[in-house]
Amino acid sequence: ETVRIESGRPLFGVDTDTDTIPLEAGLEDRAISRTKGCYVGQEVIVRVIDRGHGRVARRLVGLTLPGDAAVPAPRAALTAGSKEIGRVTSAVFSPALARPIALGYVQRDFVAPGTVVHVADSGDAIVTALPLVPLQ
């Protein structure tokens, strides 16, 4: 589980579900073919990529917290100011980074690495590019 989260790999039923499109979860490189024939959901994907320039309402991001912070609870609210902007989906303590890390969905205005968000009951976190720990 720790390696999965460090690698930024979403798990179906935890980080994704039947309402998640691959573009939100960052799966476009390994889950979408632009050359394959028709498939379920193709119209939505084409509409987002071609007409919406790939912009989705929310996106799965990595989150890093201070070393002394509590590991966020699943479904913990993510806020910016007084506005709820998303939810944590998976979280663990990363021995490689010596701090709690998490995956979560945030609204598109908060996906830039370096953005500070607040995690309920855990404090501030920094949006971090995936993978959180580079593969070696």
Buried b (16+ CB within 10 A) or exposed e, 94-114: beeeebbbbbbbbbeebbeee
Bigger pLDDT: 31 vs 59: 59
pLDDT at 10: 97
Q: Which of 14, 23, 11, 95 is nearest to 57 (CA)?
A: 23
| Alpha-helical runs (H) found in 22-101 | 28-31, 42-46
Between CA 56 and CA 135, with CA 88 as vertex, the angle to 5 degrees is 80
In eight-state DSSP terms, residue 110 is G
**Integer Cα distance of 12 and 123 in angstroms:** 27
Residue 33 has pLDDT above 80, yes or no: no
pLDDT band for position 51 (cuts 50, 70, 90)? confident
Q: Which of 34, 92, 42 is nearest to 63 (CA)?
A: 92
Please provide the average confidence, as pLDDT, over all residues in the chain.
Answer: 92
Mean pLDDT along residues 52-71: 92
| Alpha-helical runs (H) found in the chain | 2-7, 28-31, 42-46
| Alpha-helical runs (H) found in 8-75 | 28-31, 42-46
